[in-house]
């Protein structure tokens, strides 16, 4: 025999899979949405996404070098963080903003805690919220997508327009879609679904995000519990309580509008599901998802910040350790 067989501790076989493979599939699932954002917004979208990925990767690489840690770039997690930060930026954002967001995400939120797996808050979202509160004006300047993006016109997001229009609401408008129409932004559900609305780069098309998300669920890269609990509870709250702003009764909210606008799909499928920053157990993940749904609803319905999804998820990140503590599986042969 040319070389000695391996000596290892049991188990002697492993399910196929590795961190790199997990991250690789997440990236693959994000590709359609990335391509679509470049189609809609042009080279600017590509620039923003590239800049945030580059900043994330370089930051991680430099920190590894400076602190003599082993190279972790191969696990691709920094790339995922970078892409998601790019996805969370408005198209016309000055490039320094995604760069700062990536540096903050990797250096402060991830590396300080020990790198991949040790951070308790979602790095990309923390980075996004950090730059949002720092440069709010730049982070809330939207452009209307147009194929090629050449002559993009500036305008608020549907959620933003609805919030504005609501403040001087006159009678007879029975929902957000009608409100948009009266605000001079007639929009169809299909527009929302395909992303023909202003918004962050990656959250444009609910359709493409759902396809990517389903792929990850089918491959068992992400668990179904969080997306289902999150989207489900959010839809329920919106259906039950959102209609009241428009003078409707209970259970008259426009669920479709809220499901397909803003970052809900991106957040629920790709960000709340980051395993590092979500609970370990099934019960825990369901509670986490419900919490995200509730807080997203509260912030969207009552708050003025256009940040429901990001803030709800990072708020629930705080609770993950406690959820894990109390939602442990019942142990065999141990009566509590």
Partner 1 sequence: MKEMANKALRLGIIGAVAALLLAVVNNFTEPVIAERMTRELTEALTVLAAGGTPGAVETEPAPGVPQRWPIKGGKGWILELTGTGYGGPMTIVASYDTGGTVMVARLMGNNETVGFGKKAEDSSYMKIFVGTGGNRPVPRTKADLGADADTVAGATVTFSGITDALRAGSELVQEWEGR
Partner 2 sequence: MNKFKTFTRGGIHPPEGKGSTSNKPIRNAPLPAVAVVPFSQHIGAPAKPLVEPGDHVEEGQLIGEPAGFVSASVHSPIPGTVKEIKNLYLPSGIKTTAAVIELDGEFSRLGKPILTRDWSVMAKDEILDILKQHGVVGQGGATFPSHVKFSVPKGRTCEVFLVNAAECEPYLSADHRVMLEHTEDIVEGIRIIKKLLDPERIVIGVEVNKPDAIEKLKAAGAADGIEVMPLKVKYPQGAEKNLIEAILDREVPSGKLPIEVGVINANVGTLVSVCEAVRDDKPVIERVVTIAGGAIAQPGNIRARVGSSIQDLIEECGGLAEEPEKFVSGGPLMGFTFIDLDSPVTKGTSGILALTKKEVQSFAATACLSCGRCVKACPMGLVPTTIFKNIEHERLDDATAFGLDDCVLCGACAYVCPSHIPLISAFKAARGRKRRLAAMNKG
Partner 3 sequence: MTYIGIIITYVFVSNLVLSQFLGLCPFIGVSKNTESAVGMGFAVTFVMSLATLITWALQHFILVPLNIVFLQTVTFILVIASLVQLVEMVVRKYSPPLYQALGIYLPLITTNCGVLGIALISVNESYGPMESFIAGLSAGIGFLIALLFMSGIRERLDTEKVPKHLKGTPIAFISGGLMALAFMAFDRALLTNLIGG
Ligand X SMILES: Cc1cc2nc3c(=O)[nH]c(=O)nc-3n(C[C@H](O)[C@H](O)[C@H](O)CO)c2cc1C
Ligand Y SMILES: Cc1cc2nc3c(=O)[nH]c(=O)nc-3n(C[C@H](O)[C@H](O)[C@H](O)COP(=O)(O)O)c2cc1C
Which one of ligand X, partner 2, ligand Y, none is in contact with 136 (Cβ closer than 5 to 8 A by kind)? ligand Y
Rounded CA separation 186/163 (Å): 15
First to last CA, the chain: 54
Give the range of 33-41, 79-87, 96-104, 113-121 binding partner 2 by CB under 8 A.
113-121
304 binds ligand Y (CB under 6 A): yes
13 binds partner 2 (CB under 8 A): yes
The SS3 call for residue 263 is: coil
Q: What angle do CA 303, 312, 307 make, to 5 degrees?
A: 50
Which one of ligand Y, ligand X, partner 1, none is in contact with 77 (Cβ closer than 5 to 8 A by kind)? ligand X
Sole binder of ligand Y in the list 43, 96, 133, 251 (CB under 6 A): 133
Residue 326 neighbours by CB distance under 10 Å: 9
Give the range of 79-87, 176-184, 281-289, 299-307 binding ligand Y by CB under 6 A.
299-307
Rounded CA separation 209/200 (Å): 13
Instruction: Say which residues have a Cβ less than 8 Å from residue 297's Cβ, sequence separation at least 6.
Output: 233, 234, 237, 238, 241, 308
Which one of partner 3, partner 2, ligand Y, none is in contact with 140 (Cβ closer than 5 to 8 A by kind)? ligand Y
Rounded CA separation 290/294 (Å): 6
Provide the binding-site residues for ligand X, judged by CB under 6 A: 22-23, 26, 77, 80-81, 84, 105, 110, 116-117, 119, 122-124, 221-222, 270-271, 273-274, 276-277
Residue 95 neighbours by CB distance under 10 Å: 15
Least Cβ distance, residue 272 to partner 2 (angstroms)? 14
The SS3 call for residue 143 is: strand
Sole binder of partner 2 in the list 46, 236, 276, 294 (CB under 8 A): 276
Residue 181 neighbours by CB distance under 10 Å: 14
Sole binder of partner 1 in the list 136, 148, 186, 247 (CB under 8 A): 136
Instruction: Say which residues have a Cβ less than 8 Å from residue 278's Cβ, sequence separation at least 6.
Output: 226, 272, 285, 288, 317, 320
Least Cβ distance, residue 84 to partner 3 (angstroms)? 17
Give the interface with partner 2 as residue ranges (CB under 8 A). 1-2, 4-19, 21-22, 72, 75, 115-118, 223, 275-282, 285, 324, 328-335
Give the interface with ligand Y as residue ranges (CB under 6 A). 133, 136, 140, 304-306
């Amino acid at each position: 025999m040319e070389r000695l067989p391996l000596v290892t501790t049991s188990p002697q076989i492993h399910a196929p899979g590795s961190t790199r493979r997990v991250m690789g599939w997440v990236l693959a699932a994000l590709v359609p949405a990335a391509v679509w954002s470049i189609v809609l917004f042009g080279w600017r979208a590509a620039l923003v996404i590239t800049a945030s990925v580059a900043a994330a990767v370089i930051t991680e690489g430099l920190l590894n070098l400076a602190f003599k840690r082993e190279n972790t770039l191969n696990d691709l997690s920094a790339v995922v963080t970078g892409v998601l930060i790019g996805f969370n930026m408005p198209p016309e954002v000055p490039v320094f903003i995604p760069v700062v967001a990536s540096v903050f995400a990797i250096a402060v939120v991830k590396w300080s805690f020990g790198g991949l797996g040790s951070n308790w808050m979602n790095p990309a979202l923390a980075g996004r919220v950090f730059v949002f509160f720092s440069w709010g004006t730049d982070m809330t300047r939207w452009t209307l997508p147009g194929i090629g993006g050449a002559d993009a016109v500036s305008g608020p997001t549907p959620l933003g327009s609805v919030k504005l229009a609501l403040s001087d609401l006159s009678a007879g408008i029975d929902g957000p879609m009608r409100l948009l129409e009266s605000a001079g932004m007639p929009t169809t559900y299909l527009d929302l679904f395909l992303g023909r609305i202003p918004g962050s780069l990656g959250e444009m098309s609910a359709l493409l995000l759902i396809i990517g998300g389903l792929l990850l669920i089918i491959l068992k890269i992400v668990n179904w519990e969080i997306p289902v609990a999150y989207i489900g509870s959010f839809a329920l709250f919106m259906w039950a309580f959102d209609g009241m702003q428009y003078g409707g009764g209970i259970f008259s909210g426009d669920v479709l509008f809220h499901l397909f606008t803003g970052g809900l799909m991106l957040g629920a499928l790709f960000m709340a599901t980051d395993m590092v920053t979500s609970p370990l157990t099934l019960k825990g993940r369901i509670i986490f998802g419900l919490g995200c749904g509730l807080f997203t609803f509260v912030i969207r319905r009552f708050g003025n910040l256009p940040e429901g999804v990001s803030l709800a998820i990072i708020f629930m990140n705080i609770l993950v350790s406690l959820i894990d503590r109390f939602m442990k599986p019942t142990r065999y042969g141990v009566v509590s």
